[in-house]
């Protein structure tokens, strides 16, 4: 039986040490920029994307530390997207993980530039994989068909009642795409077969969608201080979420179904046990 909480904690700490090593020092000019980049990267977070990347890497026989630069690149991208999403002209959030957001702390110009710099340095670290397929895959996942596209659909859906199709498109883009490419990257770097890359990709897409639905449920029911952001902040802005459209119970069932399907896509082999354990852990956050 895997102690998933301990595993996530240990792996998260390794990722943090690598992030510290890979990001420019705060004493190096431009000091203000490096300070802002580090502030957001080290503001907390479970390091889910790098950890999933590393697990897929090991699942398909990858060994050694070479996975960390590309794995950490995925966290840099995640952080850049959060910084830009929080901006006043976007979701206008003042708090993230209980701390002032980048533009509140450093001003809008620096927040935009810190995001842009994290975006660029992420590709420098993806390139360290030596695998051009990884660069292409991640770039596609975070562009107009993925991360950025999802944010556009999200902004355009605000204020109205989204259809189920729109909602899925938002979350596939904003959350699913980066999680799925994190898993594919790990598998590709390990030298997995096309078939295995495809399996782990479906697992990632389903898990990413479940993760987002659960996040939205927690946003409604959880305690403000525990989550570090105002309760119901999404609902206040009429953000498109599953609980708003389907209610909490139906959203829970949907998340449960997605987690089950994610595991089924992977197959019940022993080698998948860590990826199963993470899926169960994400599922259990709901309760």
Report the residue number, 128 or 260, with the smaller CB distance to a second copy. Answer: 128
Per rule CB under 8 A, is residue 104 in the interface with a second copy? no
Locus of tokens 């909480």: 5
Q: Residue 221 interacts with a second copy (CB under 8 A)?
A: no
Among 15, 51, 113, 185, interactor with a second copy by CB under 8 A: 113
Position among 22, 33, 41, 259 found at the interface with a second copy (CB under 8 A): 33
The two structure tokens encoding residue 206: 């389903």
Binder to a second copy among 74, 117, 183, 192 (CB under 8 A)? Answer: 117
Q: Are 221 and 188 in contact (CB under 8 A)?
A: no
Contact between 239 and a second copy by CB under 8 A: the answer reads: no
- Shortest distance, CB of residue 77 to a second copy, whole angstroms? 9
Please count the residues of this chain forming the interface with a second copy, following the rule CB under 8 A: 49
Query: Could you say which residues in the range 148-187 bind a second copy, by CB under 8 A?
Result: 148-149, 151-153, 155-156
Could you tell me which of 285, 217, 210, 205 has the C-alpha nearest to residue 249?
217
Q: Which of 104, 127, 248, 265 binds a second copy (CB under 8 A)?
A: 127
Q: How far is the CB of 148 from a second copy (least distance, A)?
A: 4
Confirm or reject binding of residue 121 to a second copy (CB under 8 A).
yes
Rounded to the nearest 10°, the torsion over CA 164, 168, 169, 170 is: 100
What is the DSSP code (8-state) at residue 287?
Answer: -
What's the Rg (C-alpha) of the chain?
Answer: 18
One residue of 2, 10, 120, 161 binding a second copy per CB under 8 A:
120
The per-residue DSSP string of 5-59 comes to HHHHHHHHHHHHHHHHHHSPPTTSSSHHHHHHHHHHHTS----HHHHHHHHHHHH
Q: Can residue 84 be called a binding residue for a second copy (CB under 8 A)?
A: yes
């Amino acid at each position: 039986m895997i102690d998933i909480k301990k595993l996530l904690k240990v792996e998260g700490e390794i990722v943090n040490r690598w992030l510290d090593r890979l990001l420019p020092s705060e004493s190096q000019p431009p000091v203000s920029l490096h300070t802002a980049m580090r502030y957001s990267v080290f503001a907390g977070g479970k390091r889910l994307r790098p950890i999933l990347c590393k697990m897929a890497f090991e699942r398909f026989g990858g060994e050694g530390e070479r996975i960390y630069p590309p794995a950490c690149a995925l966290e840099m991208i995640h952080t850049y997207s959060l910084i830009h999403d929080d901006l006043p002209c976007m979701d206008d959030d003042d708090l993230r993980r209980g701390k002032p957001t980048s533009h509140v702390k450093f001003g809008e110009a620096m927040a935009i530039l810190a995001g842009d710099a994290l975006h660029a340095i992420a590709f420098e670290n993806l390139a360290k994989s030596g695998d051009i397929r990884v660069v292409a895959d991640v770039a596609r996942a975070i562009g107009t068909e993925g991360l950025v596209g999802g944010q556009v659909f999200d902004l355009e859906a605000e204020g109205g009642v989204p259809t189920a199709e729109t909602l899925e498109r938002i979350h596939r883009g904003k959350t699913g795409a980066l999680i799925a490419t994190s898993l594919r990257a790990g598998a590709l770097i390990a030298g997995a077969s096309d078939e295995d890359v495809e399996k782990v990709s479906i697992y990632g897409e389903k898990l990413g969608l479940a993760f987002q639905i659960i996040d939205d449920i927690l946003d409604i029911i959880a305690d403000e201080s525990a989550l570090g952001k105002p309760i119901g902040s999404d609902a206040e802005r009429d953000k498109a979420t599953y609980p708003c459209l389907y209610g909490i119970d139906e959203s829970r069932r949907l998340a449960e179904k997605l987690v089950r399907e994610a595991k089924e896509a992977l197959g019940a082999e022993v080698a998948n046990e860590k990826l199963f354990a993470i899926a169960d852990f994400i599922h259990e956050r709901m309760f």
